[in-house]
């Protein structure tokens, strides 16, 4: 795991956009997994700025969003289809046919889940997946209690998730109670994960997710197991992390983030016999097949199955 602590939300957004843009430059036909919600808005704004400055080209990029409400029309003001076009897609040169989101109007949600999962697989898999973390520990719309081996599925939204999203709708009763989301296994098959957290309200859940046990009760805790994980948190969100005693590398604001993939990830891959993916690169999905059995219990003992969480690098971005 690489942890980047930024001075504020704007620094977080620039750092995240630099990492995503770097992935696109490295592989122009890469597959990006994207998230909706308040946290990535600044990141998308920065990506649009980079595109307008001619610093990144999205014409060959393919995208898959984490989730979508169900049922909901794509042109509904609060659909994630509309959100993505308003905040990102309309400002970059991504091709419409390369944009993928779950269909909130699909007549058979089960079939839609299978179709979406197959489309991700057919694309060659997600190269970099952008994540946020919910106040109750959800990633995507994988609510507490979701099986760690889940693929794309229809989910009943938790009451706290509905309450948190009510501010975006005219009336609380207008918030959909269901959603289609990538499953935890789908998320963990991504080659790289980029998790963002901003604000003091995310402090407790971020600490629990990164430093507590891996458990279905906190779905975000599973990211500890990914061999290529970068977490970017502003100081408020990072306030609960036990970073004392570590020696962070201090960087000036606005610098590009280093490549994702650290000594811990490389060592984990070698010890597990990490295989190569379709594109000739290390495939975290293969690592998970070795280390992540089918888990359906209420708790996973990290000391037994996975060892303790591994932070190999921490750094601060911006001024004190």
Dihedral class, residue 183 (left if φ above 0, else alpha if ψ from -120 to 50, else beta) = beta
Q: Cα(271)–Cα(41) distance, rounded to whole angstroms?
A: 38
Q: What is the set of active-site residues? A: 67, 136, 138, 143
Q: Cα(97)–Cα(62) distance, rounded to whole angstroms?
A: 9
Q: Cα(168)–Cα(68) distance, rounded to whole angstroms?
A: 14
> Which two tokens mark 185?
């296994």
Range list of β-strands (E), 144-290: 153-156, 178-181, 192-197, 229-234, 249-251
Q: Cα(102)–Cα(35) distance, rounded to whole angstroms?
A: 12
Instruction: Look at residue 258 and give its three-state secondary structure.
Output: coil
Tally of CB atoms within 10 A around 95: 13
> Which two tokens mark 150?
């889940």
pLDDT at res. 31:
98
Looking at residues 174-188, what average pLDDT do you find? Answer: 97
pLDDT at res. 173:
93
pLDDT at res. 245:
41
104 has a pLDDT exceeding 80: yes
Question: For every residue of 28-44, which 3-state class applies, written as one string?
Answer: CCCEEEECCCCCCHHHH
109 has a pLDDT exceeding 70: yes
Looking at residues 85-109, what average pLDDT do you find? Answer: 98
Q: Pick the range with the lowest mean pLDDT from 151-160, 211-220, 303-312.
A: 303-312
Q: Count Cα neighbours of 86 within 13 Å in the Cβ-side half-sphere.
A: 15
pLDDT tens for each residue of 39-69 = 999 999 999 999 999 999 999 999 999 999 9
Q: Are strands 128-131 and 192-197 parallel, antiparallel or unpaired?
A: parallel
List, edge to edge, every strand of the sheet that includes 178-181.
67-70, 178-181, 153-156
Question: 249: domain range?
Answer: 2-317
CATH of the domain at 262: 3.40.50.1360
Looking at residues 289-293, what average pLDDT do you find? Answer: 43
Q: Cα(233)–Cα(203) distance, rounded to whole angstroms?
A: 9
pLDDT at res. 276:
32
Q: Model confidence at 300, in pLDDT bands (50, 70, 90)?
A: very low
Strand partners, 5: 233, 316
Number of domains in the chain: 1
pLDDT tens for each residue of 122-140 = 999 999 999 999 999 999 9
118 has a pLDDT exceeding 80: yes
Q: Residue 19: what are its φ and ψ, rounded to 5°? A: -65, -45
Tally of CB atoms within 10 A around 119: 14
pLDDT tens for each residue of 153-179 = 999 999 999 999 999 999 999 999 999
Q: Pick the range with the lowest mean pLDDT from 36-40, 168-172, 195-199, 243-247.
A: 243-247
pLDDT at res. 254:
31
DSSP state of 218: B
Residues in the chain: 320
**Is the full-model pTM beyond 0.75?**
yes
Averaged confidence pLDDT in the chain? 83
Looking at residues 184-193, what average pLDDT do you find? Answer: 98
- In terms of Cα–Cα distance, which of 57, 56, 51, 61 is closest to 31? 61
Q: Model confidence at 316, in pLDDT bands (50, 70, 90)?
A: low
- In terms of Cα–Cα distance, which of 13, 44, 9 is closest to 238? 9
317 has a pLDDT exceeding 80: no
pLDDT at res. 251:
29
């Amino acid at each position: 795991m690489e942890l980047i602590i930024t001075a504020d939300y704007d620094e977080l957004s620039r750092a995240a956009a630099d990492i995503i843009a770097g992935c696109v430059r490295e592989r122009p036909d890469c597959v990006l997994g994207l998230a909706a919600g308040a946290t990535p808005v600044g990141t998308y704004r920065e990506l649009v700025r980079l595109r307008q400055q001619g610093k990144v080209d999205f014409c060959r990029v393919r995208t898959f969003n984490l989730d979508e409400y169900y049922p909901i029309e794509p042109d509904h003001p609060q659909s994630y289809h509309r959100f993505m076009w308003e905040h990102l897609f309309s400002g970059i040169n991504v091709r419409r046919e390369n944009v993928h989101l779950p269909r909130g109007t699909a007549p058979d949600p089960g079939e839609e889940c299978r179709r979406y999962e197959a489309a991700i697989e057919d694309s060659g898999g997600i190269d970099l997946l952008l994540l946020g973390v919910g106040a109750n520990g959800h990633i995507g719309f994988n609510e507490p209690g979701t099986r760690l081996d889940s693929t794309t599925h229809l989910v009943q939204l938790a009451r706290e998730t509905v309450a948190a999203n009510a501010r975006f709708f005219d009336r609380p009763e207008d918030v959909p109670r269901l959603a289609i989301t990538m499953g935890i296994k789908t998320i963990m098959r991504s080659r790289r994960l980029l998790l963002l957290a901003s604000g003091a309200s995310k402090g407790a859940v971020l600490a629990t997710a990164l430093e507590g046990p891996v458990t279905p009760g906190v779905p975000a805790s599973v990211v500890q197991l990914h061999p290529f994980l970068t977490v970017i948190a502003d100081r408020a969100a990072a306030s609960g992390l036990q970073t004392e005693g570590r020696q962070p590398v201090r960087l000036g604001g606005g610098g590009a983030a280093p490549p994702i993939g650290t000594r811990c990830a490389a060592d984990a891959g070698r010890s597990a016999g990490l295989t190569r993916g379709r594109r000739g690169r290390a495939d975290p999905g293969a690592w998970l097949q070795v280390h992540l059995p089918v888990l359906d219990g209420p708790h996973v003992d990290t000391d037994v199955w996975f060892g303790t969480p591994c932070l190999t690098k921490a750094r601060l971005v911006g001024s004190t």
